[in-house]
Amino acid sequence: MALNKGAKAPDFILPSTSGKPFHLSKDFKGKACIIYFYPKDFTKGCTAEACEFRDQFEAFRELDIPIVGISRDTIATHQKFKKEHRLPFELLSDARGDVCQDYDALIPILRIPKRITYLLNEQHRIWAVFQDMFDAKSHIRKMAEKVKENQG
């Protein structure tokens, strides 16, 4: 079960592929944003999802909506994944799974991140949630529709 729409998104600090710790409330202060959780770098579904975010990145950037991806992979693995697929956004490492847990994005017992995407508004309240372990591309399409619907 995902976090509820309208709830305040938990703040966090995680290592990022930029080399600097990423702090949600500081780095995305006053900005709507997308946080997507995914199971593992270099897997078929996760690669498709990351590449779809890459391909739609310009549309979100024009709306000033930054994107970050989070999994339990290491920063070294994230950097390879980011480079190989030319991802224009940061990937964050939640090695212990604490942030995944806070966002209800962790499969119990297996402790593998679920495929879940959160759209946060400027106050970092949850504006929309999309989850589907098997249809990665639909997250981006639904996210774009939600943003456009609220822009008009």
pLDDT digit string, tens, across residues 57-68: 888 888 889 999
In a domain, 135, yes or no: yes
Q: Which helix (H) or strand (E) holds 118?
A: strand 116-120
pLDDT score, position 152: 47
In a domain, 5, yes or no: no
Q: For the segment 70-119, what is each residue's pLDDT rounded down to a tens digit?
A: 999 999 999 999 999 999 999 999 999 999 999 999 988 888 999 899 99
Q: What is the residue range of 107's domain?
A: 30-151
44-62 helix and 136-151 helix, angle to the nearest 10 degrees: 20
Tell me how many domains the chain contains. 1
Instruction: Report the pLDDT averaged over residues 37-56.
Output: 91
In a domain, 38, yes or no: yes
In a domain, 36, yes or no: yes
In a domain, 97, yes or no: yes
Band (15; pLDDT cuts 50, 70, 90)? very high
In a domain, 66, yes or no: yes
The mean predicted confidence, pLDDT, of the chain is 89
What pairing do the DSSP bridges indicate for beta strands 33-37 and 67-71? parallel
Choice among 33, 46, 51, 100 that is catalytic: 46
Residue 46 catalytic? yes
Q: Which helix (H) or strand (E) holds 145?
A: helix 136-151
| pTM given for the model | 0.91
